Amino acid sequence: MSQRFGGRYSPNADPQARPVAPAKPHPVGARVNLLFAVPFLFAIGAFFKSPTGLALNLTAFGVLMLAAWLAREGVLAQAAYDARRVARRPAIPRKIFASVLTGLGLGVATLPAGLGAALTLGGIGAVLHFGAFGPDPLADKGIEGVDDFATDRAARALSEAESYLRDMADAIKRSGDRELMRRIDRFSANIRAFFQVIEDDPRRMTAARRYLGVYLMGARDATVKFADMQHPARDASVRADYSALLDDLEERFAQRRDALLADDRTQLDIEIEVLRERLAREGLRANN
């Protein structure tokens, strides 16, 4: 049976399925991709050189490819760091290492022209690479009062929760139901807003653990079961029950998110009031 095409930009698309904000460009852009292309110039030229030149060019190719990979990983780590209000600096300064390796690779390739030329070209390459990509984050951000254990536990839980959302999207594709595919996209976007609350303050993890684990795991299992039942047969009542489950989960996650944010405000009000009372007792606050 033919299926009518539909998408988020189709005239008859569900308005809620259309994006509410422009998509962010992927952090790995043309500059990073170019880094993977340049080393092949040395690899191709290696076969037209003497045995020594061949060895130097192939060594330069390997070093530059490693530098390109480190630069890409560093750019991705930078994007993840910038996207969070609370983040730890990358354990390895990948972009800085990539700059050093870029200079080393260019220097190795130009050694036949002399040590001075190799040092000059290598230095210029390292400086240009550093100027193009910048340094890695070298300090933690918004981490005051948050211990390493809480941060690591939250990161592991959020990574596992993201895998549940991906599994749901993969499973629902098997059903071939385009409307439900868009529904899962909206569901995932709303659930990720809950993730952001945990990322902003990993100390909230204790209060959100059941939501990130039990509830999302159950949603993933229900989605897989639903997809197995709907393909190839279709049952309207089962589909309605599944859609209602998604609505209920979204509402519960939204309520919990609001409760976590409200609890933060309540704790702040309490701390402010306690401090005011202490200042008043010590005579450091004027009576109004």
Question: Residue 204: which of 266, 256, 161 has the closest Cα?
Answer: 256
What pLDDT sits at residue 4? Answer: 46
Domain boundaries, the chain: 17-133, 146-281
Instruction: List alpha helices for 83-147, DSSP H.
Output: 94-109, 115-133
Task: Tell me the one-letter amino acid at 53.
Answer: G
Low-confidence stretches of the chain (pLDDT < 50) are 1-22, 286-288
Residue-wise pLDDT tens digits, 145-187: 566 677 778 878 888 888 999 999 999 988 888 899 999 999 9
Mind spelling out the 3-state secondary structure of 6-22?
A: CCCCCCCCCHHHCCCCC
Q: What is the DSSP string of 224-246?
A: HHHHHHHSS---HHHHHHHHHHH
- Integer Cα distance of 131 and 88 in angstroms: 23
Whether cis (ω within 30° of 0) applies to the bond prior to 19 is: no
Which DSSP symbol is given to 194?
H
pLDDT for position 60: 94
Bridge-partner residues for 141, per DSSP? 87
In this prediction, residue 285 carries a pLDDT of 52
Give the per-residue pLDDT at 207.
81
Query: What is the rounded CA–CA span in Å between residue 231 and residue 171?
Result: 11
- What is d(CA 240, CA 260) in angstroms, rounded to the nearest whole number? 30
pLDDT value at residue 267: 59
pTM value is 0.59
In 3D, which of 210, 188, 187, 186 has the Cα closest to residue 259?
A: 210
State the Cα–Cα distance between residues 267 and 142, nearest whole angstrom: 18
240 φ/ψ angles, rounded to the nearest 5 degrees: -65, -40
Q: What residues have CB less than 8 Å from 176, skipping those under 6 apart? A: 3, 231
Report which residue type is found at 135.
Answer: P
